[in-house]
């Protein structure tokens, strides 16, 4: 991007879900500071448009398919000899129960399994750069219902997708915490954050959100630029004073979370089950 500062020159930042919303806003802000941004998205036209805007490269992947996640990882590794930041931002609310191409519940795969797999496939490259993994979580983790025996929501009420969504965001916090424990001493940092309720296409199929937008006359939520602030901060600041594994509420560390998020045994079991589901040793 012309006119970019050199603050982040030489740093490679991968952002998933970067074709719109806070991912797009973060890509623009970080490229303006001089970073090379890998723009990952599902929609080819929007993803290429953002990549052109930030002077980066587009990578197309649909997280409904773990095969596409693996191909994405191969393409990123072939493109960048270093990866300084991986921002796992893709995901969303799925209002109707459904399965992915891999046979897993869609919210669980989009919001947890796919970024879990991508992170693990890129982790060695991130480690070489003493890099950072950042995942977009949510305050919705507070109404989660974690059940390691029913990760695919076959036996429980779907509740318009809200319970699986909140649970997937708890899983995001737990994944980042376990990643921090596993990479301790390697130079890798891992953080998750709640961006606030961002006024984007999030939950466009949700009747509850449509009602909220109607009642608020379209003013429900903060701007994508405001929602992107924690991601930009965590991706660009050299020293984060909070320890690796911290969950931020906006820019504030130690956001409110369910107690399961700090249960070491549960975090380890979630990691092990996730690894088995995606075929990692």
User: pLDDT, tens digit, for every residue of 259-275?
Assistant: 999 999 999 999 999 99
Residue-wise pLDDT tens digits, 170-218: 999 999 999 999 999 999 999 999 999 876 554 445 444 443 333 334 4
Name the nearest CA neighbour of 88 among 67, 118, 109.
Answer: 118
Write out pLDDT tens, residues 31-64.
Answer: 999 999 999 999 999 999 999 999 999 999 999 9
What is residue 2's predicted lDDT score, i.e. its pLDDT?
42
Which of 11-25, 34-48, 119-133, 195-209 shows the lowest mean pLDDT across its residues? 195-209
Q: What is the pLDDT of residue 220?
A: 52
104 is catalytic: no
Residue 37 has phi, psi (to 5 degrees) of: -110, 125
Q: What is the pLDDT of residue 46?
A: 98
**Mean pLDDT, the chain, as a whole number?**
91
Which structure tokens are listed for 272?
Answer: 């092990």
CB 51, CB 124: distance < 8 Å: no
What's the confidence (pLDDT) of residue 197? 80
pLDDT given for residue 5 in this prediction = 64
Instruction: Label residue 134 left, alpha or beta by phi (over 0 means left) and psi (-120 to 50 means alpha).
Output: beta
- Residues 137-176: pLDDT tens digits? 999 999 999 999 999 999 999 999 999 999 999 999 999 9
d(CA 198, CA 224): 6
Q: What is the pLDDT of residue 200?
A: 54
Q: State which H helix or E strand residue 163 sits in.
A: helix 162-182
Q: Which band of pLDDT confidence, cut at 50, 70 and 90, is reported for residue 281?
A: confident
Task: Output the CA angle 18-252-194, nearest 5 degrees.
Answer: 35
Q: Which of 80, 104, 158, 165 is catalytic?
A: 165
Q: pLDDT at position 201, please? A: 52
pLDDT at 82 over 90: yes
Instruction: Return the pLDDT at 230.
Output: 97
Cα–Cα distance, 111 to 94 (Å, whole number): 10
**Which class is domain 12-278?**
alpha beta
Using the predicted structure, report yes or no on whether residue 11 has a pLDDT greater than 90: yes
Residue 99: predicted pLDDT: 96
């Amino acid at each position: 991007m012309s006119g970019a500062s050199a603050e982040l020159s030489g740093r490679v930042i991968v952002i998933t879900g970067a074709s719109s919303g806070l991912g797009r806003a973060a890509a623009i802000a970080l490229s303006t500071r001089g970073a090379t941004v890998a723009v990952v998205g599902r929609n080819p036209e929007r993803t290429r448009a953002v990549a052109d805007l930030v002077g980066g490269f587009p990578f197309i992947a649909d997280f409904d398919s773990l095969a596409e996640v693996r191909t994405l990882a191969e393409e990123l590794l072939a493109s960048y000899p270093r990866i300084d930041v991986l921002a796992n931002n893709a995901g969303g609310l799925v209002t109707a129960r459904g399965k992915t191409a891999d046979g897993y519940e869609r919210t669980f795969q989009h919001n947890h399994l796919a970024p879990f797999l991508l992170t693990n496939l890129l982790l060695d490259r991130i480690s070489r750069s003493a890099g950072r993994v950042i995942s977009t979580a949510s305050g919705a983790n507070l109404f989660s219902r974690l059940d390691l025996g029913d990760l695919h929501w076959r036996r429980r009420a779907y509740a318009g997708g809200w319970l699986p969504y909140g649970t997937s965001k708890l899983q995001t916090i737990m994944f980042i915490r376990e990643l921090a424990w596993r990479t301790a001493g390697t130079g890798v940092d891992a953080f998750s954050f709640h961006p606030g309720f961002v006024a984007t296409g999030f939950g466009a199929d949700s009747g509850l959100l449509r009602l909220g937008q109607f009642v608020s006359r379209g003013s429900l939520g903060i701007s994508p630029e405001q929602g992107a602030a924690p991601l930009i901060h965590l991706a660009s600041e050299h020293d984060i004073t909070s320890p690796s594994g911290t969950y931020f509420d906006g820019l504030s560390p130690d956001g409110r979370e369910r107690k399961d998020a700090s249960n070491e045994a549960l975090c380890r079991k979630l990691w092990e089950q996730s690894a088995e589901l995606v075929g990692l040793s």
